[in-house]
Every structure is written in structure tokens, then in C-alpha cells.
């Protein structure tokens, strides 16, 4: 029996790095410090696996050897005019770098799950910048913690305890020294631990933020309520924000994916900027997939842009709204794809998903998915962070090392190794 | 492979070679005495300028702040991109170039070693990730220690040995190269948004003796403490200091105080402090209206005090991105310019800020800044302690180095700019009255020999036998050209080396990258008595998780995560 300490949990953007895993006979027998999502994953990751490479022949996915599958992937990408490589928010940074390289080699688009979560956050940042900090800063200093459009208790179960309201910091030892505010359209599980819950009308985030900014500047608001919230309550909130020492605004998909999108983010950043006149105030997106932050980082240092990068011109070109995987599928321009550790058919709008079904595409994934069922080639991969090592970035961009605690099933390789094989194959085909 | 560079006009200040026509022989990755002329690949360098590969000791090329700068500025990339070729990856960015093209662009200018000057320990893995994707350059990274709680606690208890052990542990764990100190005390204050404290300090000479709220330590104590630690560890590079009060009128006095605060710790004639991007810390006057250059006063001090070395942080009139570990300064700049702003405070140890900036010739303030950098260089009596940088990208992107070289070498080139800046700016500095022009020998000193020396990289920056075979050849005949008049030719030649040789391989030919190889990453592996280390580590492990949100084990970066890892030993004592 072997015990692995300081294992990094490869699930959500909290990237908790204190998991203890016990391994016997190449199986995980138990985990400590995990939340329930994490425990479930560690104990069940080996179930429902893809076991063999598959290629669709005469309409059926049939098992083939790895070499044939890699060759087929390379062929699909090489024969395409405008291919895309998509996903990798659940891959290591080392694999992600190879994904970008492959997209450059075949002259296609490299994009990731940011397009369906925090794309607007990136755009907001391009416009305004982003005053932020690491989670340890929140832990040590924050006396006002605001979750906006994020059901943190369900999406990031250990966030409160490890990094925010319930954590113990140098300057904040007790729960009473902090105020927690939750703003959401529903009274979610995260509202329970909050000192103040504000229920906002669907799609009214921008209005509420503008009202808050006005109140902070001591402007009069004519209406009796904004976003379904009485003005007195908005004033109360504004006072809380203004009078804290160190505030943090965590925001989730409730803000990025509701009406307004990047306008919401611009408003949130403006609000935080304003608040710095009275208090130290920071803002941080609640990133979901454990290494979507890493994918943004890698894509940025290699190409200059965080997602939706078009490399078909021989240099990086970026114009979200035109160059995302969703955009090029919707317009019917994308003619082949490689999808890595992602299930776009389950998440994309219907018209886009339909277009994906019309083109040849391959999937690399440890597990079967809606997308893998339709794919022309499927290559099973190791579960990164359990069966393969590498790097990942926490939601606050702290890089951590994912651990390999046991071997993948025989004949199964990591994303990193598989992408290297595909890249080499593509290069040999192109001569 | 063997290589023979024949009949070049060689400038190699380390070996006191001043424009001698001679051959340079290369075998493998080293300079050797001679090679067989008939077997070797011969480069005819007659009437060409030959120098060691350039060594830049302060340029923000990798890590979290650099990458956030890229993310912040897509507009910086649209207009400046590079195509993929057979040997090159594609990329883009003028002031925030993507990783691969940083390597290409430096190599095309004949540079072969570049140091990233500021990374947070907890995020160092990020720096190593990007280093892996910067080809053609040898690299190293300075680590931020000036606002680190562990350091402060040791120093407040006067535990220099324990502090040294801690610093050694961090350098080893993060694979860092030197101690960087940024705006000591103020970064912690800014983490509380303590603008009042910062307002008291900024631009006042008393700055370095003001106790930091909640802690009580002063900037002087931090700098002196880390200077002692540095000496005890015998690190190859002295403490690298970004002084308090950066970017504030009147700050030149703080700068002098800061240099002076370690004077008594000096032994021999060796610098024990490197004061960085001094232009930004060289302002006289009391506000932006009566701003004047403080370069004269600073250089009066530097010229007679051999315990300090400086680099310029020269300003270029262009659009760029400021990025520094000095979060409070960037916040001020944001309030001043209204430009977009990113802040990134890092638990326990550091922070950073980023604001885009356009330096305009028509602005008196910017023009005075421009004169200060050049004055610093031109007042320098000893080019071995004064190095050319733009603090890339803070003063301007590194690809503007050839411009700076031409300004240093030609009064006429400077005068052309002086004629175009506001009159007021001209009267606020001495630049116009300075006749001095740098020689090729001095340029070679300031951009290679001296920087390699102060970095402690013994095989870099020169062409003696045993040196690394990093060589640049430029298309100028030093015997023919008059740099004073032909400054445009100087600029052109230094922009595109006709040959850059890295570790004995031709990587640039006629100004174009023809081959891409990976560079080394240097880091310091200090060797300390094990009882001292053990005691420190066990104490550290008790506090570690109270301070950080990651574990002590995960803080440490295994060597296999470092591209071409090249540890350099340092001996305690
Ligand atoms: S909070 Fe997220 S990272 Fe932490 S253990 Fe749970 S799923 Fe894993
Ligand atoms: Zn700098």
C-alpha cells in the first residue's frame, strides 16, 4: 500500500493541493481532505472508461490499434482547410502547449472551454484590466467577501473553508471578522452561510452594478427599486462595500453568461476600481474546470491571446465572435476538429452541435461522452492528475504540479503523449 | 562542430581587447585557442564588428506578470505579429511579445543571455513554463524577497543566519537566481490599500526609515538584512533593488539614501547592491510641474561609491506596457493616466501591477524621463557599473536597444531628439551640454562584459578561451565608421546581427533566425550547513500552511520541470 500526500485535486478551479490518496494494487482505496465531488472522482475515475482506440468504419465505431487511430487523426487534420483543436481545460499545461503547436502546424483554430464560461471575463479584462490577488490574500485579509452569480458551495465545495469566509488567516482568525454577501437569482445553497443574501432579478446584474456605483458616488437614485431590490437595500450593500478594509468580489457564470455578458464584467471591474478609493478591493472569476486558467495562460504566452486563436493565417489572429470554435462551426467554415477532454455536443447550442456532427472529427478523452459517441476517431487517454503528471493553474493563477499516483491501464497514454504522437504524424505527412 | 571567425574587429573588454583584428575559434560550445582552419566552418568577418553575445540583466520576459500583460493588451499584438517559418513558431506583440518571438528578436539583435528580474516565489513554476518556450537564450530569474513575511520575521528577530537559510531554501525550491527587492515595505502596505502610508512615503527621503504599519520593520532594515544574507550566501549576483518611491518627483534622494544604506557592508571594490532602472528613481523637483533630472546627483554618488552598480531603464518614445512588482506604483499610474489597470497581489510575499503607457515626445515629463536615462549613462565614469536597459517593457520594448546605443554613441543623434522635445524639458536636465559619446569598447562593456560580470556568469560576456561560444557579428567596420555621424547605420547594424552564434551554432544569419535551439536556465543551488538548514526547515514547515494556501511540498519545483536546468553552486560562509 502506498500513500500519496499533497496530491492536487484535478476537478475544480480550487485545485486543492492537500489530498491524501491511498493506493493499493494500482487502485485508489481511499482519499482524505477531498470534498464529495473529489472523493467520487478519485474513487470512481476508473469506471466507464474508453478502453480501445476506435475508428468509424461503415458507420460503426470499431476498435483499432493506437497507431492506426493516431494516423487517422493526423489525416483528418492534415486534409482539412480550416480545422479546430478544442478543449483541454482538463489537460495538463504541457499537453495544452502541444495543442497550440498542433493547431499552428495544421493551420487551424485553437480554442477552449473559456468560450462557454469566462470568455466575457477575458473581454472585460482586455477593456479594463483586472485588480485581483491570490486566494491567500483573501484568506489573510478579507473582511468582506461577495459571491455574485456563483453557487460556490456546489461548484467549488472547499472554497469557503480553504480560501475565504471560513478560512483562518493572519489578520482574520474568526468567522465573525468577515462578512459574506451572496447575490444571485435564486436562493442557492451558498446563500445559507451568507450574512446577507440579495436576490436579484434575472438579467439585471448590470443595472444593479450601475446603481451601486451611483450610490457609492453619493448620487441619488430616483427609482424605488433596481433589479428587484429596494434602493435602501442597495444603499446598505454600498455601505458594507465602502466600509470594509479588504473586499473581494468573486463572480461566476451567473454574471458572465447572463444578459449583458462582457458589459456585466466591465461594470463589475469598474465597481471594484471605484471601491479602491475607499478600501482595498479585488475581483476574481470563479473558474470551473480545474485547468481552464492554465489553458488561457499557455495559449497566451504562446500566441498572445487567451482563447479563440486562429492560426490559419500563419500567425495568431484573435477576434472572439469570429474566431471561437462556436463561431467557425456556426458559419459552417470549420471542416474538421480534434476535441480533447471535452464534451461540446452536450454543451453547444443546437445549430452549432449539428454542424459539428457534419464534419470529420476526433476525440481524445478518458471517458465516453455524447461527443465521443459521434466521433470518427476516438482515442482513450489517461486521467491527468491521477494517472499522469503535469502542471495546472489554480483560479488565481498559482501554478501547481498534478501528480501521478498510479499507472493508466495498459496501452493508454496521457494527452501529452498522444498529442506528441499526432504532431509527429502530422509533420511526417506534411513532409 | 568547429567554427572559425576570421579577421573580425573584436571588442572584448573582459580581456582588454579593443578593436583588434583577430580570429575567434570555436569548438563545440566553447571558445578555444585554435581550430583546424581546413576542417572548421569559416566565417569571414573582415571589416565586421565582433562581440560576445549580448547579456541583458533586467528584462521582463517571462512569468505571471508578463503573461497578464499579454492578456491585458490584445491591441499590442494585432499590429505586430510574426509568421511561422520552417524554423520559427509564430507569435505577436510589441511590448508584450509572446514567448517564442522574445527569443528570436533578442537573438536577431545578437543577444544570447537575458534575465527575468522579478517573479513571485509561489508562482515561479509559471516562469519556468515560459522559459521553456523562449528559444535561443540562456535565462535566469530573480526572486522577490523584499515584502516576504518570513524574511521580515527573521530580520525583525535579527536572525540573519536563519534568514539566509530560508532564502537559500527558496532559491533552491523555486530554481531562482538572485534576491530581488521591490519597493520594500510599500507592497505590503498596498495590500491593505494603505494609500495614506504610501502618500507619506512617496518622494520623501525619510521613506526608508518609516516603519511599515502592523509590522514595524523599515525599508532600510529589509535592504540591509537581505544584503547581509546575500553576502553570507555568496550568491553570484548582489541584491537587485527597485527602490522606494519609484516614479515620484523628488525620489532621487531616496535612491541615494537606499544606495548609501548598505555602504558600510561593502568589502573590496565589488558592488554589493544593484540599483535597477534608475531613470524611474532619478527625479528631482517636488511635483510633475517642476520635475527635473536627478541624474547628476545620483551619478555623483555612483561614480565614487564602488559598492553599487545601476542600470538605466531608458525611456523610448513609443507605446508600451508598464509592469512591475511595485503594485502601489501601478495603481498611482492608473489614477494618473486613467489607463486600464491590473493589480495582482500575491500572498505572503509580493505583488504586481500593469498599466499601458505611451511615452510622448511632446510631453515634458516624458521628455525629461528620456533625458535622465541617457544622462545616467553619460555621466558614468565606470561603464563596468552602469548598464544599458530599458527595463523592458517599462521604459520601452527591448527591440529599441539599437536606438539607445545610437544615442549613447552620437551627440548628434541625441540632439535631433532634443530639438523636438519641449523647451522646458531641455532646461530640466544637463543632457544638452554633455559631449561624451560611447565607444564600441564601452558599448561592449555596458551590454555584455559588465552585465555578465555582475551576474557572476564567468563564461558569458567575453571571448576568451573557455568562454561560452556565444558570439555576435555586426555589419559595421569600426575602423571606417564614424558613429557620431553615421548613427543610423549603427542602429541598423545592431538591430540585425549578420551572425549570432549560440553555443557554437549559427542561429542567426543576415539578421534572420536560421536555427532554433533551447537555452539554458541558470539557478543557484546554495550549499549550507545541514544543521542550520534542518532547523530552519522544521520551523518553516510549522508555519508554512498558516501562511500559504499551498503545501510546502507543492511549493518546491523539481528539476525536471526546468528546461535545460543548470544549477550554479554557492558556498555559505
Ligand atoms: S473543492 Fe474542487 S479542487 Fe477542492 S477537493 Fe473539491 S473538487 Fe477538488
Ligand atoms: Zn523591471
Return the percentage of chain B with pLDDT > 70, whole number. 99
Looking at all shown ligands, the one closest to residue B182's CA atom is: 2
Three-state helix/strand/coil letters over B434-459: CCCCCCHHHHHHHHHHHHHHHHCCCC
Cβ B341–A5 below 8 Å, yes or no? no
Decide if the complex's ipTM is over 0.95.
yes
Contact between B467 and B26 under an 8 Å Cβ cutoff? The reply is no
**Contact between residue A6 and residue A33 where contact means Cβ atoms under 8 Å apart:** no
Q: What is the mean pLDDT of residues B223-240?
A: 97
Nearest to B72 among A101, A126, A297 (CB): A126
| Structural domains in chain A (count) | 3
**Contact yes or no for A352/A329 (Cβ under 8 A):** yes
Q: Is the CB–ligand 1 distance for residue A157 below 6 Å? A: yes
**Residue A34 beta carbon below 6 angstroms from any ligand 1 atom:** yes
Which pLDDT band, with edges at 50, 70 and 90, does B203 fall under? low
Q: What burial class does residue B15 get, using C-beta atoms within 10 Å of its C-beta: 0-12 exposed, 13-18 middle, 19+ buried? A: middle
Query: CA triplet A131, A133, A136: central angle to 5 degrees?
Result: 160
Q: Are residues A218 and A309 in the same domain?
A: no
Report the residue among A89, A157, A294 best suited for mutation to probe ligand 1: largest number of ligand atoms under 8 A from its CB.
Answer: A157
Please indicate whether residue A382, judged by its CB atom, sits closer than 6 Å to ligand 1.
no
In a shared domain, residues A126 and A237: yes
Q: Which residues of chain A have pLDDT under 50?
A: none
Query: Rounded to the nearest whole angstrom, what is the distance from the C-alpha of residue B115 to the centroid of ligand 2?
Result: 10
Domain with CATH 2.30.40.10 in chain B: 2-52+463-513
Identify whether residues A68 and A110 lie together within a single domain. Answer: yes
Same domain, A406 and A300: yes
Residues 6 or more apart in contact with residue A377 via CB below 8 angstroms = A53, A54, A55, A56, A69, A72, A73, A76, A361, A362, A363
pLDDT cut 90: percent of chain B above it: 96
Report how far residue A193's alpha carbon sits from residue A167's, in angstroms, rounded to the nearest whole number.
Answer: 13
Domain boundary (A245, A269, A285) is at A285
Best probe of the A interface among B121, B347, B544, by most A CBs < 10 A, is B347
Same domain, residue pair A73 and A15:
no
Are B129 and A273 in contact (CB < 8 Å)?
no
Q: How far is the CA of A19 from the centre of ligand 1 (A)?
A: 9
Q: Nearest-CA distance from B558 to chain A in Å? A: 10
Closest Cα to atom 3, ligand 1: which residue? A15
Where residue B242 falls (left for φ over 0; alpha for ψ -120 to 50; beta otherwise) is beta
In the DSSP assignment, the letter for residue A413 is B
Q: Quick one: A416 and A324 in the same domain?
A: yes
Rounded to the nearest angstrom, the distance between the alpha carbon of B497 and the centre of ligand 2 is 26
Q: Which atom of ligand 1 is nearest to the CA of A158?
A: 1
Pick from B306, B304, B317: nearest CA to B272: B306
- Does B344 sit within 8 Å of A133, measured CB to CB? yes
Q: Which of A285, A316, A346 is the last residue of a domain?
A: A285
pLDDT digits (tens, 9 = 90+) for B325-382: 999 999 999 999 999 999 999 999 999 999 999 999 999 999 999 999 999 999 999 9
For chain B, give every residue range classified as CATH 3.20.20: 54-455
User: B202 pLDDT band (50/70/90 cuts)?
Assistant: low
Q: Return the residue of A nearest to B121 by Cα.
A: A398
Rounded CA-CA distance A147/A191 in Å is 9
Grid cell locating A95: 499537453
Atom of ligand 1 nearest to the CA of A156: 1
Half-sphere exposure of B434 (CA within 13 A, CB side): 25
* Alpha-carbon span B271 to A72, nearest angstrom: 61
Strand partners, B509: B499, B512
> How many Å lie between the alpha carbon of A2 and the closest alpha carbon of chain B?
17
Q: What is the 3-state secondary structure (H, E, C) of B287-320?
A: CCCCCEECHHHHHHHHHHCCCEEEECCCCCCCEE
The response to whether residue A16 sits with its C-beta less than 6 Å from ligand 1 reads yes
CA angle B184, B190, B192 (to 5 degrees): 130
At A363 the three-state DSSP class reads strand
Q: Which residues of A touch B175 (CB under 8 A)?
A: none
Shortest CA distance from B87: residue in chain A: A105
Instruction: Indicate if ligand 1 lies below 6 Å from the C-beta of A216.
Output: no
A145 with A265, same domain?
A: yes
Find the domain containing A218 and state its range: 119-285
Pair (A155, A92) in one structural domain: no
Q: CB distance A128–B546 less than 8 Å?
A: no
Taking CA atoms, A339 is separated from A73, A325, B151, in Å, by 11, 11, 47
DSSP category for residue B135: B
A135 C-beta closer than 6 A to ligand 1? no
Cα distances (angstroms) measured from residue B411 to each of A299, B141, B473, B495: 44, 35, 25, 20
Q: Can you tell me the mean pLDDT for B498-527?
A: 98
Ligand 1 atom nearest to CA at A12: 2
B162 CB within 8 Å of a chain A CB: no
Reduce the DSSP state of residue A3 to 3 states and report it: strand
Question: Looking at the CA of A37, which ligand is closest?
Answer: 1
User: CA nearest A19: which of A3, A31, A29?
Assistant: A31
Q: B248 C-alpha to center of ligand 2: Å?
A: 16
Of A6, A104, A318, the CB nearest to B84: A104
Per DSSP bridges, beta strands B499-502 and B386-387 are unpaired
pLDDT in tens, A215-262: 999 888 889 999 999 999 999 999 999 999 999 999 999 999 888 888
pLDDT tens digits, one per residue of A312-370: 999 999 999 999 999 999 999 999 999 999 999 999 999 999 999 999 999 999 999 99
Predicted pLDDT of residue B269: 80
> Is B544 an 8 Å CB contact of chain A?
no
Residue-wise pLDDT for B305-314, tens only, equals 999 999 999 9
Q: What is the pLDDT of residue B449?
A: 98
At A89 the pLDDT is 97
Residues B1, B506 contacting (CB under 8 angstroms): no
Nearest CA to ligand 1 atom 2: A12
Q: Quickly count: other Cβ atoms within 10 Å of residue B571's Cβ.
A: 9
Instruction: Judge if the beta carbon of residue A35 lies within 6 A of ligand 1.
Output: yes
Q: What is the CATH number of the domain that holds A102?
A: 3.40.50.740
Nearest atom in ligand 1 to A14's CA: 3
> Does residue A266 sit in the same domain as residue A339?
no
What mean pLDDT, rounded, does chain B reach?
96
A214: its cell numbers = 451611483
Q: Does pLDDT of B181 surpass 90?
A: yes
Nearest CA in chain B to A159: B549
- Are A336 and A107 within 8 A, CB to CB? no
Question: Which is nearest to B53 in space by CA: B141, B145, B157, B137?
Answer: B137
Same domain, A353 and A400: yes
CA-CA distance, B285 to B254, in Å (whole number)? 13
Q: Return d(Cα A95, Cα A383) in angstroms, integer.
A: 12
- Fold for domain B54-455? TIM Barrel (3.20.20)
Q: Which atom of ligand 1 is nearest to the CA of A34?
A: 5
CA-based nearest distance B321→chain A, Å: 12
Shortest CA gap B215–chain A (Å): 12
> What are the grid coordinates assigned to B197, written together?
502610508
How close A102 comes to chain B (CA, Å)? 11
- The two beta strands, B471-474 and B49-52, are antiparallel
Query: For residue B274, which ligand has an atom nearest its CA?
Result: 2
Q: Determine which of A101, A141, A304 to mutate to test the interface with B (most B C-beta atoms within 10 Å).
A: A304
- Grid cell 571588442 is found at B11
Residues A170 and A270 sit within 8 Å (Cβ to Cβ): no
Residue given cell 581550430 in the structure block: B35
Mapping DSSP onto H, E and C, the string for B37-80 reads CCCCEEEECCCCEEEECEEECCCCCCCHHHHHHHHHCCHHHHCC
- Interface subset of B 424-483, CB within 8 angstroms of A: none
CA distance A393 to chain B (A): 9
B352-367: pLDDT as tens digits: 999 999 999 999 999 9
Establish whether residue A41 lines the binding site of ligand 1, counting it when its CB lies within 6 angstroms of any ligand atom: no
Residues 6+ apart with CB under 8 A from A430: A78, A105
The finding on whether A400 has its CB within 6 A of some atom of ligand 1 is no
- CATH topology for B2-52+463-513 is Urease, subunit C; domain 1 (2.30.40)
Residue B94, CB-side half-sphere exposure with 13 Å CA sphere = 19
Distances, alpha carbon A344 to alpha carbons A75, A329, A341, in Å: 22, 11, 10
A329 shares a domain with A382: yes
Q: Does B345 touch chain A (CB under 8 A)?
A: yes
pLDDT digits (tens, 9 = 90+) for B441-479: 999 999 999 999 999 999 999 999 999 999 999 999 999
Q: Quick one: A270 and A152 in the same domain? A: yes
Supply the pLDDT for residue B197.
Answer: 77
**Of residues B391, B393, B379, B382, the one with CA closest to residue B311:** B391
Nearest CA-CA partner of A52 in A372, A426, A386: A372
pLDDT of residue A219: 85
Amino acid at each position: 500500500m502506498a500513500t500519496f500526500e499533497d496530491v492536487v485535486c484535478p476537478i475544480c478551479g480550487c485545485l486543492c493541493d492537500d489530498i491524501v490518496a491511498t493506493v493499493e494494487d494500482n487502485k485508489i482505496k481511499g482519499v482524505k481532505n477531498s470534498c464529495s465531488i473529489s472523493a467520487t472522482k478519485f474513487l470512481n475515475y476508473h469506471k466507464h472508461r474508453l478502453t480501445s482506440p476506435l475508428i468509424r468504419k461503415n458507420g460503426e465505431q470499431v476498435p483499432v490499434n493506437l497507431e492506426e487511430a493516431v494516423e487517422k487523426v493526423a489525416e483528418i487534420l492534415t486534409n482539412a482547410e480550416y480545422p479546430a483543436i478544442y478543449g483541454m481545460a482538463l489537460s495538463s499545461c504541457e499537453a495544452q502547449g502541444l495543442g497550440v503547436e498542433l493547431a499552428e502546424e495544421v493551420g487551424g483554430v485553437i480554442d477552449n472551454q473559456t468560450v462557454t464560461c469566462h470568455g466575457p471575463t477575458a473581454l472585460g479584462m482586455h477593456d479594463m484590466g483586472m485588480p485581483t490577488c491570490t486566494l491567500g490574500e483573501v484568506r489573510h485579509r478579507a473582511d468582506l467577501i461577495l459571491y455574485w452569480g456563483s453557487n460556490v458551495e456546489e461548484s467549488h465545495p472547499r472554497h469557503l473553508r480553504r480560501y475565504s469566509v471560513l478560512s483562518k488567516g493572519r489578520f482574520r482568525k474568526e468567522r465573525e471578522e468577515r462578512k459574506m454577501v451572496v447575490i444571485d437569482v435564486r436562493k442557492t445553497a451558498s446563500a445559507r452561510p451568507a450574512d446577507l443574501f440579495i436576490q436579484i432579478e434575472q438579467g439585471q446584474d448590470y443595472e444593479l452594478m450601475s446603481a451601486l456605483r451611483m450610490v457609492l458616488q453619493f448620487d441619488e437614485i430616483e427609482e424605488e427599486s433596481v433589479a428587484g431590490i429596494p434602493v435602501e437595500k442597495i444603499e446598505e450593500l454600498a455601505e458594507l462595500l465602502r466600509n470594509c478594509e479588504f473586499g473581494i468580489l468573486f463572480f461566476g457564470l451567473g454574471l458572465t453568461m447572463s444578459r449583458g455578458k462582457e458589459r456585466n464584467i466591465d461594470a463589475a471591474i469598474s465597481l471594484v476600481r471605484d471601491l479602491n478609493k475607499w478600501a482595498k478591493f479585488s475581483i476574481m472569476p470563479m473558474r470551473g474546470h480545474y485547468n481552464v486558467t492554465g489553458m488561457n495562460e499557455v495559449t497566451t504566452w504562446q500566441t498572445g491571446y487567451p482563447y479563440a486563436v486562429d492560426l490559419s493565417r500563419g500567425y495568431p489572429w484573435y477576434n472572439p465572435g469570429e474566431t471561437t470554435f462556436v463561431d467557425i462551426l456556426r458559419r459552417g467554415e470549420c471542416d474538421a476538429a480534434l476535441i480533447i477532454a471535452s464534451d461540446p455536443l452536450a454543451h453547444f447550442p443546437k445549430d452549432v452541435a449539428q454542424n459539428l456532427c457534419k464534419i470529420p472529427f476526433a476525440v481524445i478523452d478518458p471517458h465516453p461522452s455524447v461527443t465521443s459517441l459521434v466521433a470518427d476517431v476516438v482515442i482513450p487517454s489517461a486521467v491527468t492528475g491521477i494517472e499522469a503528471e503535469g502542471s495546472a493553474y489554480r483560479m488565481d493563477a498559482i501554478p501547481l504540479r498534478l501528480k501521478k499516483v498510479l499507472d493508466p491501464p495498459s496501452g493508454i497514454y496521457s494527452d501529452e503523449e498522444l498529442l506528441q504522437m499526432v504532431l509527429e504524424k502530422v509533420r511526417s505527412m506534411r513532409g | 562542430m568547429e567554427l572559425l571567425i576570421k579577421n573580425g574587429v573584436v571588442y572584448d573588454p573582459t580581456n582588454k581587447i579593443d578593436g583588434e583584428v583577430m580570429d575567434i575559434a570555436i569548438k563545440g560550445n566553447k571558445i578555444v585557442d585554435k581550430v583546424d582552419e581546413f576542417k572548421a566552418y569559416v566565417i569571414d568577418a573582415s571589416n565586421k564588428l565582433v562581440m560576445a553575445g549580448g547579456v541583458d540583466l533586467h528584462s521582463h520576459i517571462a512569468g505571471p506578470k508578463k503573461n497578464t500583460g499579454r492578456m491585458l493588451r490584445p491591441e499590442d499584438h494585432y499590429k505586430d505579429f510574426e509568421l511561422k517559418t520552417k524554423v520559427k513558431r509564430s507569435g505577436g506583440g510589441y511590448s508584450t511579445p509572446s514567448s517564442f518571438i522574445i527569443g528570436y528578436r533578442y537573438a536577431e539583435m545578437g543577444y544570447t543571455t537575458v534575465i527575468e528580474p522579478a517573479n513571485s516565489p509561489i508562482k515561479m513554476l509559471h516562469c519556468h513554463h515560459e522559459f521553456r518556450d523562449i528559444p535561443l537564450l540562456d535565462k535566469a530569474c530573480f526572486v522577490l524577497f523584499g515584502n516576504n513575511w518570513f524574511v521580515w520575521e527573521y530580520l525583525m528577530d535579527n536572525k540573519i543566519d536563519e534568514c539566509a537559510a530560508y532564502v537559500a531554501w527558496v532559491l533552491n525550491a523555486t530554481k531562482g537566481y538572485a534576491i530581488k527587492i521591490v519597493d520594500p515595505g510599500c507592497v505590503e502596505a498596498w495590500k491593505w490599500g494603505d494609500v495614506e502610508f504610501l502618500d507619506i512615503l512617496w518622494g520623501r527621503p525619510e521613506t526608508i526609515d518609516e516603519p511599515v504599519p502592523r509590522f514595524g520593520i523599515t525599508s532600510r532594515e529589509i535592504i540591509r538584512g537581505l544584503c547581509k544574507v546575500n553576502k553570507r550566501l555568496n550568491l553570484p549576483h548582489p541584491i537587485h533593488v527597485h527602490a522606494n518611491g519609484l516614479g515620484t518627483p523628488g525620489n532621487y534622494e531616496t535612491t541615494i539614501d537606499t544606495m548609501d544604506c548598505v555602504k558600510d557592508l561593502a568589502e573590496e571594490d565589488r558592488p554589493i547592491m544593484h540599483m535597477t532602472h534608475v531613470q524611474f528613481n532619478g527625479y528631482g523637483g517636488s511635483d510633475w510641474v517642476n520635475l527635473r533630472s536627478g541624474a547628476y546627483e545620483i551619478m555623483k554618488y555612483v561614480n565614487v561609491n564602488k559598492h553599487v552598480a545601476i542600470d538605466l531603464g531608458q525611456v523610448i518614445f513609443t507605446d508600451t506596457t508598464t509592469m512591475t512588482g511595485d503594485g502601489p506604483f501601478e495603481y498611482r499610474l492608473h489614477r494618473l493616466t486613467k489607463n486600464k489597470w491590473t493589480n495582482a497581489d500575491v500572498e505572503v510575499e509580493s505583488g504586481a501591477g500593469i498599466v499601458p503607457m505611451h511615452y510622448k515626445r511632446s510631453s515634458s515629463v516624458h521628455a525629461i524621463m528620456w533625458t535622465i536615462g541617457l544622462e545616467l549613462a553619460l555621466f558614468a565614469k565606470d561603464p563596468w557599473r552602469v548598464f544599458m536597459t530599458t527595463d523592458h517593457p517599462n521604459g520601452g520594448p527591448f527591440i529599441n536597444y539599437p536606438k539607445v546605443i545610437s544615442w549613447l554613441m552620437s551627440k548628434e543623434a541625441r540632439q535631433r531628439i532634443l530639438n523636438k522635445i519641449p523647451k522646458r524639458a531641455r532646461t530640466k536636465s544637463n543632457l544638452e551640454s554633455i559631449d561624451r559619446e560611447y565607444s564600441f569598447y564601452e558599448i561592449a562593456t555596458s551590454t555584455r562584459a559588465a552585465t555578465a560580470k555582475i551576474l557572476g556568469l564567468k563564461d558569458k560576456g567575453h571571448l576568451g578561451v573557455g568562454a561560452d561560444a556565444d558570439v555576435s557579428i555586426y555589419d559595421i567596420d569600426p575602423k571606417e565608421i564614424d558613429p557620431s555621424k553615421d548613427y543610423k547605420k549603427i542602429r541598423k547594424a545592431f538591430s540585425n546581427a549578420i551572425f549570432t552564434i549560440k553555443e557554437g551554432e549559427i542561429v542567426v544569419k543576415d539578421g534572420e533566425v536560421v536555427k532554433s535551439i533551447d537555452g539554458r536556465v541558470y539557478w543557484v543551488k546554495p550549499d549550507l550547513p545541514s544543521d542550520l538548514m534542518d532547523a530552519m526547515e522544521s520551523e518553516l514547515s510549522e508555519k508554512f500552511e498558516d501562511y500559504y494556501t499551498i503545501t510546502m511540498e507543492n511549493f518546491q519545483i523539481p528539476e525536471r520541470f526546468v528546461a535545460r536546468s543548470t544549477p550554479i553552486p554557492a558556498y555559505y560562509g
